[in-house]
Amino acid sequence: MKNRKLGNSGLEVSTLGLGCMGLSFGYGPAANTKDAIKLLHAAVENGITFFDTAEAYGPFANEELLGEALEPFRNQLVIATKFGFAGGDSKAGLDSSPKRIREVAEASLKRLRTDHIDLFYQHRVDPNVPMEDVAGTIKDLISEGKVKHFGLSEAGVQSIRKAHAVQPVTALQSEYSLWWREPENEILPLLEELGIGFVPFSPLGKGFLTGAINSDTTFDQTDFRNIVPRFSTEARAANQAMVDLLTKIAEEKQATPAQIALAWLLAQKPWIVPIPGTTKIHRLEENLGAVEIELTANDLSKIEEAASEIQIEGARYPEHLQKRVGN
């Protein structure tokens, strides 16, 4: 496994990380603990050193799972977690008050069975708490040795600038993939200017870009894709064109659509580290194969040209969740 540095921070991680949310939350029933630990151990054995969790995934179950599974390898790994929701519940509203940030830090350290959090993200910008107060609290936690690096998730340009002026931001985590390219407009140029790394979540379009989902696919009733407009039956039928494009390129490269989607992201900037999630070891291994795929300038230009002809249908979030991003 190759490594990458997240911006100018010096934080070095594996070229692909592992998004762990789906093991406990969001995509139907939680994985069996034994199977989840087996998957996390397989990730370590395959060279992944960057693991992403949050108190809100469960709540709390995901951090506890990582604490148990990764404790034997802790010193070799970079573990990222997040604060920002009242009581750790993503349905309960935002709370990034300094008091709450400190409470989350202490609780996360215990659940993760560690003495420091490598990368502590604000999960969503809280309009009721000045960003300077958030960044200042993280600065204090860093000086105390409890946190190593500060991150933001789904933050907008102004929030990133305000935070970075108080405590340098190591990484921004936001959605980015061939079917959600909004970060290219303002976010990527800003990150380049400030020397901040980028950690795309949902780099495979919440599973859609793998080719394993079509307009006939049904999701478990607890799967949040049921409320995502982009996953309506009509939108999936329309968006199949992007999967068809990836499949065509994959055939030429003797790869899979997922590998091409990840290789495309890796080719955008050397400080981009995607964190695809999975519950299956064979998918984990497939994703890791993307690191070895070289897309030439000609390949990228062909993808760009073909992708520009495809109109992606459906919003990426329902309205109530969309209000929490880009602030």
Q: Is 272 exposed, middle or buried (0-12, 13-18, 19+ CB in 10 A)?
A: buried
Specify the long-range contacts of residues 102-105, CB closer than 8 Å, at least 24 apart: 102/137, 102/141, 104/55, 105/141, 105/146, 105/147
* Residues marked as catalytic: 57
Kindly list the strands in the beta sheet with 169-175, ordered across the sheet, starting from the edge strand earlier in the chain. 18-19, 50-52, 78-83, 117-122, 147-153, 169-175, 197-201
Give the DSSP H/E element, type plus range, for residue 283. Answer: helix 281-288
Residues 6+ positions from 195 with CB-CB distance below 8 Å: 7, 8, 9
- Calpha distance 263→292 (Å, rounded): 8
Nearest to 131 by CA among 154, 160, 103: 160
Record the tokens describing residue 155, joined without a space. 């933050």
**C-alpha to C-alpha distance for 235 and 152, rounded to whole angstroms:** 30
What's the token pair of residue 165?
């002026």
Tell me the DSSP string of 157-191.
Answer: HHHHHHHHHHS-EEEEEEE-BTTB-GGGTTHHHHH
Q: How many helices, marked H, and strands, marked E, lie in the chain?
A: 11, 9
Q: Are the C-beta atoms of 281 and 34 separated by less than 8 Å?
A: no
